[in-house]
A and B are shown apart, each in its own frame.
Chain A
């Protein structure tokens, strides 16, 4: 079995199921949020803040943020290990892949912390 230290679930089966579970969470969250925006065309600040800071939406958004992080990592890992390889790019392949993966990881962490700061305050 081929395993990789950079993959989230350490093997393809875990990554596969993580990707599907988080996809469902993100899909439901997207529909909920878009549904609210479509149903409230003349949205006021009070309405919007009340909706997003309700306990339900705070927790749902937190779960969505974590799901986004895991989903993005599995997806970007798959893409970087497909295209940024020594086979495609020669000797620099591995260094470039690890560098890009590092940037992706950093950006993902920033997104999660930033999102938590917005919804849970400092």
Chain B
């Protein structure tokens, strides 16, 4: 049996993977939220901490997870509404998810740096 990944399958499994990554990343997000709101000192402390390359990379990775999960989620809502359910159109939509999220993730990277 030959097994080939279709774009729909890739869009589906990466949606799941990004969801799990976001769930883990939420610890960083809530930790950062706490520091950012605690006091003036902790706010600037966080700002300093987020200036490092590693921190920026982590922020970008979490943002990428959010962006991809968001865009792939819109795909689900569109298909729930009855659109893009045919073979060709669903394939096109899966490619569109990858292209749109890739562009947004690059934009997010530029914004972070």
Whether, in the assembled complex, A96 has its beta carbon less than 8 Å from a beta carbon of chain B, the answer is no
Q: A23-B73, A30-B70 are in contact. Are A45 and B26 (CB under 8 A)?
A: no
Q: Residue-by-residue, is B41-65 near A (CB-CB < 8 Å gives 1, otherwise 0)?
A: 0011000000000000000000000
* Binding site secondary structure of chain B: helix
Interface residue range, chain A: 20 to 34
Contact B37 A111 (CB under 8 A): no
**Which A residues between 56 and 88 are near B, CB-CB below 8 angstroms?**
68, 72, 75-76, 79
Instruction: Pick the contact of B33: A38, A68, A104, A115 (CB < 8 A).
Output: A115
How many angstroms from the CA of A45 to the CA of B39 in the assembled complex?
A: 8
Q: Residue-by-residue, is A34-56 near B (CB-CB < 8 Å gives 1, otherwise 0)?
A: 00001000000100110011000
* Binding site secondary structure of chain A: helix
Instruction: Pick the contact of B73: A27, A48, A79, A119 (CB < 8 A).
Output: A27
Interface residue range, chain B: 20 to 34
Closest Cβ neighbor of B15 among chain A residues: A75
Contact B36 A48 (CB under 8 A): yes
Contact B23 A76 (CB under 8 A): yes
Q: Residue-by-residue, is B62-74 near A (CB-CB < 8 Å gives 1, otherwise 0)?
A: 0000100010011
Contact B43 A48 (CB under 8 A): yes
Whether, in the assembled complex, A10 has its beta carbon less than 8 Å from a beta carbon of chain B, the answer is no
How many angstroms from the CA of A76 to the CA of B18 in the assembled complex?
A: 12
Contact B37 A48 (CB under 8 A): yes
